[in-house]
Amino acid sequence: MAVNIELFESLDVVARDAAGALDRAHVPSLYGRLDWFRLIAAHCPSAGKPVVIRAETGGRRAWLFLAVDGSDARGLAAWYSLRFDAVGNRERDVMTSIAAALRDGGIATVTLAPIEDPGPLAAGFRDAGWIVEVEPDKANWRIDTAGMDFETYWASRPGQLRSTFKRKAKSAGLEVEVHDRFSPAAWDDYEAVYRASWKPEEGSFPFLRALADQEGAAGTLRLGIAKQDGIPVAAQLWLVENGEATIHKLAYAESARPLSPGTILGEAMFRRVLDHDRVRVIDYGTGDEPYKADWMGERRMLWQLTAHNPRRLKGLAAALRTKASNLARHLRSR
C-alpha cells in the first residue's frame, strides 16, 4: 500500500493537518504532543528550522518532528525532552517511508535522542538505505509501583534513606505544600529555590513556567515546595498522567543542605503520588546520579540514533569517520 508523505515547516499547518490527532486526547505521551513541540520551538529552539514529516497509509499516520540546519537534521528536542521518537504509527513500512523522504530530500545526517525503543526507527532508516548507528545516550531510573501504597514502597527503600528522613524531618521543621494547579506565587518559590541551589540555570525558566501552567490546567501538575520559616528551601516539579509519575526537575537551596530538604520533600511527593494518585510507575527522568538508586528500582538505557545518508558525500564521509573511530576504540580495548 502506498504511503503518502507531506513535509511541513509550520507547526500551525501541522495542527490544521492533524485535526486534533496530536492533542492530549489522542497522544498518551507528553513528548509526542503538538503542545510540547510548540513549547520547544517557542522557548528552546534548536539550530535550524522546524520541519515535520507526516506519513499516512491506510488511515495510519506518523509524524517525525525535526530541526533542519542545512543538510543536518536533529530531533526537535531540548534539555527537557526526557523522550523522543516518531509519533503515531511506528510500523516498519511507515518508518521506512519517512526515512526515504529524508534521504531523497538531501539530508545527509539525522540524529535522534533520547529514544526508549530505537528498533522501529533504526529498521526504517536501514531499509531506506541509510547507514545507522545506535548507541547509549542517557540513563533512566524508574520503579514499578503497581499495587503499592506508600508504606509498602517506603519499607523497600534502603535503611539509610529512611533513617535520614526520620532524623531530619523531626529537626528541620519544614512545611511542605504540593500544588496540583499552577500558582504564580508557588512558581516564584520554585524559581527562588533553583537560583539558590547548586544547579546552574538550565535551558529556560519561561519554558518550565509555561509547561507548569499548561499541565496545571490539565490537572497533571504536582509542584512540591518545602519551606523553613516561610522561606522556600526545596522544590520538585512532577507530572502525573495515565498512571505514571515523572520527576522533571528538583533542587534545594545550598544553604539548607544540612536539613536534607530534598529528602524530606521527596518523601512527601512519593507519598502523594502513591497514596492519592495511585500511580503504577514512577520515572526519575534522565541522568545517572547515585541518589536515584535509593528511590528507584530499575536502571535502563535510552538511546541515540544517528543515520548517515550514503548518497550524500557529507553523509558517507561521516559514516566512514564513525566506523573508523569505532574500529580504533575496539582495537584499543583488546
pLDDT at 2: 79
Give a yes or no: residue 44 inside a domain: yes
Which three cell numbers, joined as nine digits, stand for 46? 534548536
Largest CA distance in the chain: 68
Whether 192 is in a domain gets the answer yes
- Rounded Cα gap, residues 160 and 100, in angstroms: 54
Whole-model pTM: value is 0.92
What is residue 314's predicted lDDT score, i.e. its pLDDT?
81
**Rounded to an integer, what distance in angstroms lies between the CA atom of residue 89 and that of residue 330?**
37
291 found inside a domain: no
Residues 116 and 243 in one domain: no
Q: Please give the Cα distance from 254 to 250 (Å, whole number).
A: 13
Q: Is residue 227 part of a domain?
A: yes
Q: Are residues 152 and 269 in the same domain?
A: yes
- For the chain, which residues score pLDDT lower than 50? none
- Domain co-membership, 118 together with 162: no
Tens of pLDDT, residue by residue over 194-210, are: 999 987 667 799 999 99
Tens digit of pLDDT for each residue in 54-80? 999 988 899 999 999 999 999 999 999
pLDDT of residue 1: 63
Query: What CATH number does the domain containing 90 carry?
Result: 3.40.630
Range of the domain at 83: 4-140+300-333
Give the contacts of 187 (CB within 8 A, at least 6 positions apart).
209, 212, 223
Q: Let me know if residue 289 belongs to a domain.
A: no
Q: What is the pLDDT of residue 165?
A: 97
Q: In this structure, are 9 and 131 located in the same domain?
A: yes
What per-residue confidence (pLDDT) applies to 46? Answer: 84
CB contact burial 102-139 (16+ within 10 A = b; e otherwise):
bbeeebbbbbbbbbeebebbbbbbebbebbbbbeebbb
Q: Taking a C-beta distance cutoff of 8 angstroms, is the pair 233, 256 a contact?
A: yes
Gap between the Cα atoms of 24 and 63, Å rounded: 15
Q: Looking at the structure, do residues 124 and 213 belong to the same domain, yes or no?
A: no
Counting the structural domains of the chain, the total is 2
- pLDDT for 312: 87
Establish if 15 belongs to a structural domain. Answer: yes
33, three cell numbers: 504532543
Do 42 and 70 have their domain in common?
Answer: yes
Q: Is residue 116 part of a domain?
A: yes
> How far apart, in whole angstroms, are the C-alpha atoms of residue 21 and residue 7?
17
- For residue 270, the domain's CATH number is 3.40.630.30
Q: What is the full DSSP assignment across 269-297?
A: HHHHHHHTS--SEEEEEE---TTHHHH-S
Give a yes or no: residue 273 inside a domain: yes
